[in-house]
Amino acid sequence: MSGKQDLESIASEWGRPASLLTPSAKQRAPIDGSWIGRVTLARPDEEWPLWKDRPLAPLCQLRLDHAPFVPDELADIACITIFMDFDEDGVAETLLEQHEEFNQEILIPNGRAWALRAYDSIDDLVETRAPKQHWPFSTKPGKWQYIERDIPTDREFRDGALDTKIWPVAAYDARPKGIRLGGWPSINQEPLPWGPRRLPPMTFLGKPVPWERPTFDPQYMLEVTSVTECDLSIYDAGAFFFGRGLKDRSRWCFSADSA
């Protein structure tokens, strides 16, 4: 089989629909649209999120009601805004400290070094402005595109989660980068610690890490990868992954991966 045929085979058998947000070349864009590196919407009573007295960085604003595909589990949401702890050099050390404190698990609560806000409508949202702060990435409006068959990374195959041994080297490079709704997460180093399948034993700094699947049953929903056009670097071309609870839809979880 050629590499192209391999990719077509994987896409046919394992492909999932997804929406991908990438930087737009437009100079002007609606302030209430989808953005990378910017958040402009909030409820009137919501303050800009802080962590350790430092404003969290505006990672993105996603208008799901404009996306060509939205997972069924997110059908009740019109807009998502995500904030993350960055300093002038990149992902802040406090985020790493939170991973260590919580045994590198996703049970870092929403609001501790990261924040995700979900809105079922934008009708009651108002414009919000970021505090005067320097973050090591630029702001660009986003444009949505539809991916009919998003393919998984080879990590899914190496862990045996998918019943096939076919994996062309070109497959990872074939995955477009950006902010992805649905599809497959861009896993490279480790499987999602809160995913449906977990490989024991898990260790951190050479010590076993106890783990039980969270009771709110999180499911992968979206990812934010490094975006070179915005100088957005996540752990050396890595990604942030976000999941929503299926048993408690008010609960969200977060984890990260490096390239």
Token pair in block for residue 29: 């864009």
pTM of the model: 0.85
Structural domain total, the chain: 1
Label residue 162 by pLDDT band (50, 70, 90).
low
pLDDT score at 174: 65
Token pair in block for residue 223: 């990812």
Distances (CA, A) of 39 to 77, 125, 165: 16, 12, 42
* Selected residue with higher pLDDT from 11 and 231: 231
**Could you tell me the residue range of the domain that residue 157 belongs to?**
3-257
Q: What is the CATH number of the domain that holds 136?
A: 2.30.320.10
